[in-house]
């Protein structure tokens, strides 16, 4: 994060893209373990946001001020299941509502570049 600030980038959102792949499943498993622990059959958006915050990435996001869960998607295709989460800072405006196509995440409404930081996380950097 310090690197991006030093380069003059305004980081507005963090994106977690967590799969059920064995080598990458820590956040994915933490997310689902929290939800299963609630003892429910269905989960509210608030349940999903709480689960996202209790992952390793959620804890790291909080340390840098990204305490809002802007969007949570649970996706599945023929090859994998995954959870995609966008964390934002409280003063930031949320991205546009999700599109009808479940495979895409609507980006924040600013020009930006995405930078992967490994472990299924990426940083969105707004250009000024």
Residues linked to residue 85 through DSSP beta bridges, in sequence order: 16, 72
User: How far is Cα of residue 57 from the mean position of the Cα atoms in its chain?
Assistant: 8
pLDDT in tens, 68-100: 999 999 998 888 899 999 999 987 555 554 444
Q: Is the model's pLDDT at 67 over the cut of 80?
A: yes
Structure tokens at 90: 């409280």
Q: According to the model, what pLDDT value does residue 77 have?
A: 85
Element (H, E) at 10: strand 10-19
Higher pLDDT, 94 or 58: 58
Confidence band for 113, pLDDT divided at 50, 70 and 90: very low
Residue that has been written with the tokens 């980038």 in this structure: 9
Secondary structure of the chain: what % helix, strand, coil (to 5)?
25, 30, 40
For the chain, the maximum distance between any two Cα atoms, rounded to a whole number of angstroms, is: 46
Tell me the whole-structure pTM to 2 decimals: 0.69
Domain locations in the chain as residue ranges: 2-126
């Amino acid at each position: 994060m310090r690197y991006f600030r030093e380069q003059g980038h305004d980081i507005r959102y963090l994106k977690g893209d967590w799969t059920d792949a064995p080598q990458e499943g820590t956040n994915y498993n933490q997310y689902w373990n929290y939800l299963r622990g609630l003892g429910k059959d269905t989960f509210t958006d608030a349940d999903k946001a709480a689960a996202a915050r209790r992952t390793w990435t959620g804890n790291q996001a909080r340390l840098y001020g990204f305490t809002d869960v802007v969007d949570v998607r649970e996706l599945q295709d023929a090859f994998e299941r995954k959870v995609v989460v966008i964390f934002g800072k409280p003063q930031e405006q949320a991205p546009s509502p999700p599109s009808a196509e479940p495979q895409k995440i609507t980006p924040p409404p600013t020009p930006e570049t995405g930078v992967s930081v490994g472990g299924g996380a990426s940083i969105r950097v707004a250009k000024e």
